[in-house]
Structure 1
Amino acid sequence: MVQHSDARLDASFAALSDATRRGVLEQLGRADASITELAEKFHMTLTGMKKHVGVLERAGLVATEKVGRVRTCKLGPSRLESETAWIEGYRQLWGSRFDELDKVIEELKRKEKVDERKKR
């Protein structure tokens, strides 16, 4: 069974996998914007931008508010803590593996130098 946090991570990473959606997040990090403003900025149709914003909204990365005919977008409640923790766990894992690999390489280099001295 898929846990809620796994589904949330899937939604976040799926949303972040698209360059336009990452660009929208960067833009909203500077200032809130309407869907129309975002569509113009990214040279897209309103329909296309609404789809991108919908994906970001479902992932919790963007929140929208409709006032009259204007739907304004802002950064959502997700602060990417879970995603950051997930990435950090793998960064630490790979970091420790590379540290171990460095030790093996240094040991091989040391043995190689000893072997060269013995040949002389």
Structure 2
Amino acid sequence: NSHPLSDEKEPPVLPPPPPPNKESEGSGEVKCTESKTPCSFCIEEKSIQDIVHVLSLLRLNKYAERFQEEMVDGEILAGLSVEDLQSEFGFSKLEALRLYRYIEKGHVPK
């Protein structure tokens, strides 16, 4: 007895779940979308060459060779403090701050 005004309601139709993120499948790595601060970039995912490019953007080219020698990629860079950049790489405080602001917020001075 199927009547359009019957008391029986059909279960709601749910949209299909989003497709799995192929990048994070099984890698065990924390991705940008899971980080505390939203960002349009993820420093942790940058390669050594990406970091060299960042140094160029920030006019810190003189440190590029050393970063390559020390194999500093985004994951390593994200773990460095302003003090580390000064003591380990010889950055001035202002240079270290410039790079640190990029790491934190993606800031490139205008």
Give the structure with the larger helix fraction. 1
Give the structure with the larger strand fraction. 1
